[in-house]
Amino acid sequence: MSAISFPHDDILVPVKLGDRSYQILIPNDSSQQSVGAFARSRNPSGLAFVVADRGATAHLEPLKNSLLQAGYRVECTILAPGEGQKSLSQAAALYEKLLDLKADRKTLLVALGGGVTGDLTGFVAATYLRGLPFLMIPTTLLSMVDSSVGGKTGVNLSRGKNLVGCFHQPIGVWIDMKTLATLPDREYRSGLAEVIKYGMIMDAPFFATLETNVPGLLARDPGLLRMVVARCCELKADVVSKDEREETGLRAILNYGHTFAHAFEAVAGYGAWLHGEAVAAGMQAAARLALARGLIANDIVERQSRLLSAFGLPVDRDQKWHVDTMIDIMRSDKKAAAGQLRFILPVSLGVVRLFADVTVDEVTAAMAKKGS
């Protein structure tokens, strides 16, 4: 998709997972479809229980009305924002609400919010009465391009993120670009890091499209964003449909930049750096490592750096952070095999491979250099 086109129709992205297949619908502004009808055509329940992030409440009334029009009785609960909501105690509070509402196995759970709301609601949907249908309405750029595809749900434990969870595919995903209008700038730009990631790992022409559309992306042009989000969903759906449960290793390519990023997030203190910011600096460290190995030319490292910088994303870690601490964190990363450092590295623009033979010296050098 080097020449980006702006279809006026709704965009439908299929996620092909056999009998767990579902569709992501990205309606256009004047769509004939409504979220209520979209839900109704996939779920016969009388009750819809909406779990909404407080940050996304501006989008709650239209959702409720649409579900009501589709014949649902609608009940809502509002979550305080933040990663802290992804907890077993919060899941238990939602189970209690479902009991009070006399929810049955057809009751539709609806997540309105970012990845936190989606992961928590999905986890509750997966586990209450051994599984309820669940509709996702992601309202952050990151959740639109990442957590809405693939069915990973979960909560955190005090000793680590996403340690309890399961795969539970939604019945559908509804992505309304209008919800992005209220998203804070820093959150929006953080989501763009994951967008750039898809270009780097799977699609060189898409990367080039991003390079030529920086002003439109910064302006949150809805037509452009619909295409960009759809392409990211398609790319992730392709990976997920071939490796739903991270068994073949293919799904690991989505972790490009993430081994570094998880260490950066941890040393910065959770919350100090947004996930996408850490991913940006992490991808840049991974690209430098690939350059030092002779896997790619400097031109690719610089193009990635320029694009990240154009969106105000960091391309360097904070040099005050201790390298040894970060290496220890990387070794204990749940994606590391028995302490062995494993990295997804670019071998050309749009192509990455897993390397399990990376040395501590290489990692240290990749984190030491500044800029591109």
Ligand X SMILES: NC(=O)c1ccc[n+]([C@@H]2O[C@H](COP(=O)([O-])OP(=O)(O)OC[C@H]3O[C@@H](n4cnc5c(N)ncnc54)[C@H](O)[C@@H]3O)[C@@H](O)[C@H]2O)c1
> Which residues sit at the interface with ligand X, rule CB under 6 A?
53, 55-56, 81, 83, 86, 113-117, 119, 139-140, 142-143, 146-147, 150, 152, 161-162, 179, 182-183, 187, 275
Least Å from the CB of residue 215 to ligand X:
22
Is-catalytic flag, 251? yes
Residue showing the smallest CB distance to ligand X in the complex: 115
**Closer CB to ligand X, residue 142 or residue 210?**
142
Exactly one of 194, 244, 265, 362 is catalytic; name it.
194
Exactly one of 255, 288, 317, 362 is catalytic; name it.
255
The token pair at 282 is: 């992490």
Is-catalytic flag, 322? no
Is-catalytic flag, 236? yes
Exactly one of 197, 231, 275, 288 is catalytic; name it.
275
Is-catalytic flag, 258? yes
**Closer CB to ligand X, residue 152 or residue 317?**
152
Exactly one of 59, 86, 258, 317 is catalytic; name it.
258
Is-catalytic flag, 234? no
Is-catalytic flag, 83? no
Is-catalytic flag, 59? no
**Closer CB to ligand X, residue 243 or residue 302?**
243
**Closer CB to ligand X, residue 283 or residue 300?**
283
Least Å from the CB of residue 365 to ligand X:
29
Residues forming the active site:
130, 152, 194, 236, 246, 251, 255, 258, 262, 275
